[in-house]
């Protein structure tokens, strides 16, 4: 295993460094099938890919082994960028070969204190990188928690926490993260780094879901921003303008002149489409308690007056705000006996509140990006659910919406989410005990289904309260910190929150999960600051 260190060199320099360890998956099999051909390709890859990429990212090649190499970097960010470029470049090379001839590296990156010798590097920091490399999937990159903390807000790619792992010969458990691919960026990255990647190979990579995001894109929203007021009171969003009884544009105070989002060139509307949302600078006094400078928050017109208060009626607080469903207060039995995390069952009282009829969409999220209040542009159609969000991202959106409107938008509590999703039911799913056709967007739950992405919001039947997409689609962040059971949880419908909790709760499951995750009581958890492609959000507010 490259980089495995078992000795110390007296008198050598100690330093903090990012260590990259790599080896080839299935090397013995490749050599057994074609010894000479594999060796020729390995040497060519080192000469044309590995060594130039290390140099480009300011890395030092410490040593090579028969099937791997060890490198050292001053910057953990450059180390991870280097790993990503190597993996995407190897993937591009492999597209012209049959799968049994693919050379695929497994890479581990760790930040640690090491002993540096002129010809080698030693210490536990090296050993951890080597252990991570051994755990990585072929073509994959694993990083330690120390590396993640340094790069988490600096690279546009996803991270999946694998939890704390006890590694061989390492005293303390190590938190491990998998760097997740971003297929949309592979062609762009390949053009910038390797002139030999043909457009055909890049297309194969995109279609195959292979590639990595290495560059932060400029904040730009392609195409027109569709007004959320176009959504009907029933049916999927975008079909027709909202009924006057649901959204009164005159009482909302919206201007009659359309304007592009801040920082974006104006774009004409498509034929038969509504104009983009009017955006004006927010006055310093707007948004009580706001600490955000006026220049970074886009104003949204004042709220319309809500009408009826029974569960199921819909409204919007403003033009461009997410459509909300009113939920009357009441009590319900929360949890189930199917999983230990859903116990004990208990009676919970919930006050009246409003919750998003749909998960937040790409169009709604990109308004926040255009206002420079959310980090990265969401890709996809306007009525796709926004995804690849961390809990902190979800909080950032809720905070921007609250500040822009003066209305206390927030994430729903876990109790509110389940109460609204159940819609008065006590069964596994809101429609009954068994999975039914066209009710959920999850693996094995029936058509329509796309393995690569969730369905557009509102594609399936809403529950009796009028909420869509509560079973599958994107898993939705709620306000609560993760606790392994409900023992000691609030019974008043409030969020079970603590300062600085490391993980938060997700509800509803995603299109990547099976039907058990789509149950009304099902709950999962994830690291607070980690983005994952299947995670989105649904907004809420008190009434």
pLDDT at 181: 65
3-state secondary structure of 350: strand
Give the Cα separation of 314 and 321 in Å (integer).
12
> CB-based contacts of 417: which residues, under 8 Å, 6+ apart?
355, 476, 478, 507, 508, 538
Q: Comparing C-alpha atoms, which of 316, 332, 396, 349 is closest to residue 492?
A: 349
Indicate whether this model's pTM tops 0.75. no
**Domains in the chain and their CATH numbers?**
13-208 (3.30.70.1230), 233-543 (3.90.1580.10)
Phi-psi region of 254 (alpha: psi -120 to 50; beta: other; left: phi over 0): beta
Q: Which are the contacts of 251, defined by CB distance < 8 A and separation ≥ 6?
A: 304, 305
Residue closest to 74 by CA, chosen among 114, 104, 107 = 114
pLDDT at res. 310 = 64
Instruction: For the chain, 543 residues long, give each residue's pLDDT as a single digit of tens.
Output: 454 444 444 556 888 999 999 999 998 889 888 888 888 889 988 998 999 999 989 999 999 887 899 999 999 999 999 999 899 889 888 887 888 889 999 999 999 999 998 888 898 889 999 999 999 999 999 999 999 999 987 876 788 888 888 888 788 889 999 998 654 433 343 344 333 333 444 443 443 443 444 333 334 333 333 333 333 333 444 333 333 333 333 333 333 333 333 333 333 333 333 333 333 333 333 333 333 333 333 333 343 333 334 678 999 998 889 999 999 999 999 999 999 999 999 999 999 999 999 999 999 999 999 999 998 899 899 999 999 999 999 999 999 999 999 999 999 999 999 999 999 999 999 999 999 999 999 999 999 999 889 999 999 999 999 999 999 999 999 999 999 999 999 999 999 999 889 899 999 999 999 999 999 999 999 888 888 889 999 999 998
How far is residue 122's CA from residue 129's CA, in Å, rounded to a whole number? Answer: 11
Quick check: 369 and 219 in contact, CB under 8 A? yes
Cα–Cα distance for residue pair 521/403, rounded to 1 Å:
32
Judging by DSSP bridges, how do beta strands 174-180 and 158-165 pair with one another? antiparallel
Helices (H), 34-114: 35-45, 51-56, 76-94
Residue 346 has phi, psi (to 5 degrees) of -155, 155
């Amino acid at each position: 295993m490259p980089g495995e260190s078992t000795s110390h060199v007296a008198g050598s320099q100690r330093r903090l460094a990012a260590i990259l360890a790599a080896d080839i998956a299935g090397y013995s099999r490749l050599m057994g099938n074609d010894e000479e051909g594999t060796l020729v390709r390995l040497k060519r890859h080192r000469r044309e890919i590995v060594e130039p990429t290390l140099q480009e990212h300011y890395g030092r090649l410490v040593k090579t082994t028969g099937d791997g190499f060890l490198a050292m970097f001053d910057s953990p960010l450059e180390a991870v960028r280097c790993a990503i470029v190597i993996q995407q470049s190897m993937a591009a090379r492999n597209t012209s070969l049959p799968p049994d001839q693919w050379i695929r590296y497994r890479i581990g990156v760790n930040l640690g204190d090491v002993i540096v010798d002129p010809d080698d590097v030693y210490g536990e920091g090296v050993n951890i990188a080597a252990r991570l490399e051994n755990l990585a999937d072929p073509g994959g990159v694993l990083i330690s928690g120390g590396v993640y903390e340094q790069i988490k807000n600096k690279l546009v790619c996803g991270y999946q926490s694998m939890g704390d792992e006890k590694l061989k010969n390492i005293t303390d458990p190590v938190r491990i993260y998998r760097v997740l691919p971003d297929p949309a960026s592979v062609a762009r990255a390949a053009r910038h780094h390797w002139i030999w990647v043909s457009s055909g190979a890049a297309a194969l990579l995109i279609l195959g879901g292979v590639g990595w995001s290495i560059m932060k894109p400029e904040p730009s929203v392609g195409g027109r921003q569709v007004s959320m007021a176009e959504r009907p009171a029933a049916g999927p969003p975008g079909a027709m303008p909202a009924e006057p009884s649901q959204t009164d544009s005159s009482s909302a105070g919206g201007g009659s002149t359309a304007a592009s989002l801040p920082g974006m060139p104006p774009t004409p509307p498509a034929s038969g489409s509504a104009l983009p949302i009017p955006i004006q600078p927010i006055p310093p006094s707007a948004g009580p308690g706001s600490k955000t400078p006026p220049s970074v928050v886009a104003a949204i017109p004042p709220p319309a007056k809500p009408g009826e208060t029974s569960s199921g009626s819909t409204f919007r607080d403003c033009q461009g705000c997410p459509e909300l469903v009113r939920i009357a207060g009441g009590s319900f039995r929360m949890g189930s006996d199917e999983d230990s995390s859903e116990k004990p069952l208990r009676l919970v009282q919930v006050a009246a509140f409003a919750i998003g009829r749909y998960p937040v969409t790409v169009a709604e999220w990109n308004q926040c990006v255009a206002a420079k209040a959310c980090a990265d542009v969401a890709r996809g159609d306007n009525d796709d659910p926004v995804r690849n969000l961390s809990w902190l991202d979800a909080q950032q959106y809720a905070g921007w919406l609250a500040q822009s409107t003066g209305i206390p938008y927030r994430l729903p509590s876990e109790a509110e989410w389940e109460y609204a999703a159940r819609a008065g039911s006590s069964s596994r799913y809101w429609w009954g005990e068994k999975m039914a056709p066209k009710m959920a967007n999850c693996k094995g739950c029936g058509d329509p289904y796309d393995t690569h992405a969730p369905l557009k919001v509102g594609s399936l039947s809403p529950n009796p309260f009028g909420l869509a997409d509560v079973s599958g689609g994107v898993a939705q962040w709620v306000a609560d910190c993760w606790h392994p059971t409900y023992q000691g949880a609030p019974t008043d419908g409030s969020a079970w929150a603590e300062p600085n909790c490391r993980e938060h709760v997700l509800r509803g499951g995603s299109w990547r999960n099976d039907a058990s995750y789509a149950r009304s009581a099902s709950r999962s958890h994830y690291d607070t600051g980690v983005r994952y492609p299947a995670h989105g959000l649904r907004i809420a507010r008190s009434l």
